[in-house]
Amino acid sequence: MTEKQMLGTKSDQSNNPQSIRNRTRFILLKPLLVAEIYFIFTLILYTFGPTTWINTNPYFLYAFLILYQLFFSFGYLYEINKARIPIGLDSKKENLITSNRIKIKRFVKFIIIFGLIMTSISTITYTNISTFSLSALIDQTINGITNPLSAYKESFGGGSEGGIIYLIIVLTSPITWAAFPLSVVYFKRLNLSYKVIVIIMFSLEAMRWIIMGRNKGVFDLAIIIISIILIRKMQNKYENINNEVFKKKESKR
């Protein structure tokens, strides 16, 4: 067998469906790896970091956190192994995917609107602003940046111990927080008005955390954006490989 034939054989083997599926599963494992590294880092920081946290039952806490991560990883790996990764698409599959994309886009738009409403309510509620005033938000944001310790102390005196508004915010928080990653994933596909809404939603959420003197929330938003951008790049890389292989298979027929 000549060198050219050997290279061609290797290329065919690397582009066969099973090889592509294996590479795709490896790509899908990267988000789990990032999440676990982040979890381990935060756990080490919590345990050995400069701040001494009050913990009445450390064994229960560590057992709960470790079990949570184990079940999370198990569920993630189970779904990857169960999923059927398609290689190429026929016309029927393309029509089905197009239909699903339209439904998903409508759902994402609804989630974004809901997220904006609840983010606005939580911003007003947790920052103790009587009415939604942009000037008041900006002034308090500047105060949170220049004097974070004072802002942090003031955030405990707002009477946020209970009430129907706080109950609604807590109960709807999973849906509200879903708006942030979903809006980043579908940002390029949104029209201008929804892109503006997404920017306003992120800005309000960031301002809320700054006003409360808790910059952790701002870092969470940054991590969401960076992680999803990296995942999207990996996804696009996989889709390009998949499309190239499918085109080669079609050209040989």
**Is the pLDDT score of 85 beyond 80?**
no
- Which tens digit of pLDDT belongs to each residue from 4-14? 444 444 444 45
Contact 242, 28 (CB under 8 A): no
Are 207 and 113 within one domain?
yes
**Residue 8 falls within a domain, yes or no?**
no
**Residue 239 falls within a domain, yes or no?**
yes
Which of 132 and 64 is assigned the larger pLDDT?
64
**Residue 1 falls within a domain, yes or no?**
no
> First vs last Cα of the chain: how many Å apart?
25
What are 24-27's contacts with CB under 8 Å, separation 24+? Answer: 24/85, 24/238, 24/242, 25/80, 25/81, 25/85, 27/234, 27/235, 27/237, 27/238
What span, in angstroms and rounded, lies between the C-alpha atoms of 72 and 36? 10
**Residue 91 falls within a domain, yes or no?**
no
Q: Chain-wide mean pLDDT for the chain?
A: 77
**pLDDT for the residue numbered 195:** 93
**Per-residue confidence band for 237, with pLDDT thresholds at 50, 70 and 90:** confident
| pLDDT-above-70 percentage for the chain | 71
**pLDDT for the residue numbered 251:** 62
The predicted model gives 162-180 an average pLDDT of 85
**Residue 185 falls within a domain, yes or no?**
yes
Other residues' Cβ atoms within 10 Å of the Cβ of residue 126: 19
**Residue 64 falls within a domain, yes or no?**
yes
What range does the domain containing 72 cover?
17-85
**Is the pLDDT score of 227 beyond 70?**
yes
- Which tens digit of pLDDT belongs to each residue from 177-217? 889 988 988 898 899 999 999 999 999 999 888 888 877 78
Torsion of CA 109, 115, 118, 124, to 10 degrees: -120
Are 189 and 243 within one domain?
yes
| pLDDT-above-90 percentage for the chain | 13
**Is the pLDDT score of 74 beyond 70?**
yes
- Which tens digit of pLDDT belongs to each residue from 91-121? 555 554 555 677 888 899 999 999 999 998 8
**pLDDT for the residue numbered 244:** 64
Are 140 and 223 within one domain?
yes
**pLDDT for the residue numbered 4:** 46
**pLDDT for the residue numbered 142:** 84
**Residue 130 falls within a domain, yes or no?**
yes
Are 34 and 150 within one domain?
no
Total number of domains constituting the chain: 2
Are 250 and 144 within one domain?
yes
Are 245 and 163 within one domain?
yes
The predicted model gives 113-135 an average pLDDT of 82
Are 54 and 156 within one domain?
no
**Residue 94 falls within a domain, yes or no?**
no
**Is the pLDDT score of 245 beyond 90?**
no
Q: 61-75, 118-132, 230-244: which range is least confident on average?
A: 230-244
Are 37 and 159 within one domain?
no
H helical segments located in the chain: 3-14, 17-48, 58-82, 91-126, 134-146, 148-154, 164-185, 192-211, 216-252
